[in-house]
Amino acid sequence: MAAGPEGKLQLVQRHVRAFPDFPKKGILFRDICPILKSPAALTAVTDLFEEHVRSHQLQVDLIVGLDARGFLFGPLLAQRLGVGFVLVRKKGKLPGATVSVAYDLEYGSAEVEIQEDAVAPGQKVLIIDDLLATGGTLLAACELMKRQQADIQGCMVVIELRDLKGADRLKPHNIFSLLQY
C-alpha cells in the first residue's frame, strides 16, 4: 500500500468509478463499490479519516453514520478511535423510542431517525457518510444531533460534489472530504 497521505488518496481515487447518466440522464454517478472491494483502498479511507481526526486533535465520543453507506466507513473509524458508533436510519427502521427529522429532497421529502438514548447531551460527535451532494441528509443528521444536544465536531465524507454546494448548507459545521469533484 502507498505509505503517505497523498499515495493513499491516489489509491482511493483510483477506486472510484464514474457512471454517466445514472440514475438518470445528465447525472455522473460516483461509485464507491470498488473501494469496498479492495482491502487496501478501504484501509486507505479509514487511515485518512483517522489521520484527519488525530491531526486536528478532534475530541470524539461517538461516530454517527448515515444510512446506509455511512455504516460502511463509520464503524471502522470508530474502532480505530476507540469510540462508539451510532446509526442514523431512515424512518421506521429502528426499534424503541426514536427522535426523527424530516427533510426535503429534490423530488419529495424523507425522514431520518436515531434511537432516543443513542446520544447523550454534551457528547462530542463526528458525522460520517460516503457522499456530500446537496447536503440534505447530512443537514438532517446535524439537526438530529442538535436535538440531542450533542456537540458536533464536524462531518466527514469520502466524496464531495462541489457543484451542488452541499457544504454551504452545512455551515457553520466543518466538512472534511477526501475527494472533491
pLDDT in tens, 63-106: 999 999 999 999 999 999 999 999 999 999 999 999 999 998 76
CA distances in angstroms from 90 to 8, 52, 103, 141, listed in the order given: 32, 28, 11, 11
Q: Total domain count for the chain?
A: 1
Q: How far apart are CA 10 and CA 18, in angstroms?
A: 15
Which tens digit of pLDDT belongs to each residue from 125-181? 999 999 999 999 999 999 999 999 999 999 999 999 999 999 999 999 999 999 999
The CATH number given to whatever domain includes residue 141 is 3.40.50.2020
Active site residue 111: no
| Cα–Cα dist 61/37, whole Å | 29
Judge whether 69 counts as a catalytic residue.
Answer: yes
Among candidate residues 6, 51, 89, 106, the one labeled active-site is 106
Which domain covers residue 81, as residue numbers?
5-180
Annotated catalytic residue: which of 69, 89, 113, 160?
Answer: 69
pTM for the structure as a whole: 0.95
**Chain centre distance of CA 66:** 6
Least Cα distance to 148 among 110, 95, 109, 112 occurs for 112
Can you list the positions of beta strands (E) in the chain?
A: 17-20, 28-31, 62-66, 84-90, 98-105, 108-115, 124-132, 151-160, 175-180
